[in-house]
Structure 1
Amino acid sequence: MTQIFPINCTRCGSVRIDALRRRREVGEVSLENQCQITLISTEHFSAVIAPVFPPVTLAAPPINACRKENMKRAAVITTLIVLWLSVPVHAQDGGPIIQNERVTVWDTMNLLPPADNDFVAVSLKGTAVFGHKGDVPGEAGARNMVIALKDHPEAPIVNNSGYPNAYPREGIVKLLENDRVIVWSFRWTPGKPTVMHFHNTDVVVVYQEDTPLESITPDGKRVLNEYKFADTRFNRGNRVHSELLVGKSGSAVITELK
């Protein structure tokens, strides 16, 4: 739905700001002239702009004063739009960020509809909550990764690698465990590689900060993965490697699937 908020001048022309595309995609800003401001916007922009700039018809002051005042109004409107564009859009607005036979994961700052499956809600403050089918996932105003657990259990992979399983490990903290998941919190130590280990389960990893990790395989091959704050990954089991933090700090909440 679009709405028009005009600021009309009887002497001069107009500044026109078009924001015709949905949500954060803004059309061209054209300076047709300098005294009438017409904002065409979706409901998202209207909700921000409308309380500040209701439709106003200006009298006809001297043309220079009119232009100066309305150019200020145009600058304020443009600034508000830029600020709106700077707010992160979470993938919940466009669908899940991970979708496969085992999980569906949403990145959301809102309450979701009642869950069709059991789920784990991982916050970006290092906490995790388990919820049951029918519960309401998420938290209004707080960003969470909601991991819906599909009815596709898999037994742990038999470990014939000669290396220990990935979890538990030195320094790891168990946040919760039940018949569906084990959720761990782990902080890597700069410059200290983890023990070479075997991943016998699938996991969902939510990085709690920027975490540059080198993955080192038994044959010495190294791959650098520069994970960013809130990055979320689904990693399948049946892998052997060690992990080395190459930055100053790194941590994650790891949901191990059963």
Structure 2
Amino acid sequence: MPKDDVLMKSIIALLVLSAALVACSSKESTEVARDSGVATRQEEAGKQRYLAYEHAIAADLDESDLKPVYEKVIATCNNDNQIDCTVLDASITSGRFLSAKLRLRAKPEGIRKLTALVSAGGKVSSQSTHVEDLAKPVTDVKTRLAMLENYRTKLLELQRRPNNDIDSLIKIAEKLAAVQSDLERARGESAHLLARVNLEILTISLSSRASRSFWSPIAESLHDFPANLSSGVSTAIVGVAYVLPWLFVLLIGFVLIRLAWRKFRRQ
């Protein structure tokens, strides 16, 4: 009986130990899976931080509404400090029909606000969004900045050594100047990339071609009638100038053929 008790206790101990190992293994697997999921989400979030958005919207408006909407968009961009907006390009033309084009840079909420202004002013004919992933360029610039900072720190440590001669100091100063120049260039590149990530681009195209009144084409035709008439007359004069030499050549040819025909008949 004592031996059986010892054997039974040993079996129970083994079972308890096996259960504990299985539980620990399951817990570790769960933690690894959770940590992997967190790392994946963090990686995705990091990629999303470096996305540069560029939007485009085209709208058709009444002729009387196009210029007010154009000016309202520019005024909103210039006066609303919360959206950090900048007008990069602006143009308006008045040929056969009014048209305007704007290129703006602003915060995402500013882009939505400006897009809403355009949509409220007329009929949106097209709208698109282009996304560029700048994660690699931003990471490369950060790595280069860190390397340059480290290199400059080492050069400064070398410069502080008391046993440096003049030649060594001159060479270190030249290296420091070159590193500082590279640092400023890399910082400017980093600032430009981050501005593209933090601020979005919006291109607005406004047109009144499809919303013109019934009489607009007729009025334009009457307005252009004198110019078209003079253009037609000038084209006709040019045509006559080209035709006259050929008429002269044909006339001479006709006379020669007629004389030859008469001579043939006499024979």
* Greater strand content: 1
Greater radius of gyration (CA): 2
What TM-score comes out, normalization by structure 2 length? 0.24
The structure whose RCO (Cα within 8 Å, separation 6+) is larger is 2
What TM-score comes out, normalization by structure 1 length? 0.24
* Greater helix content: 2
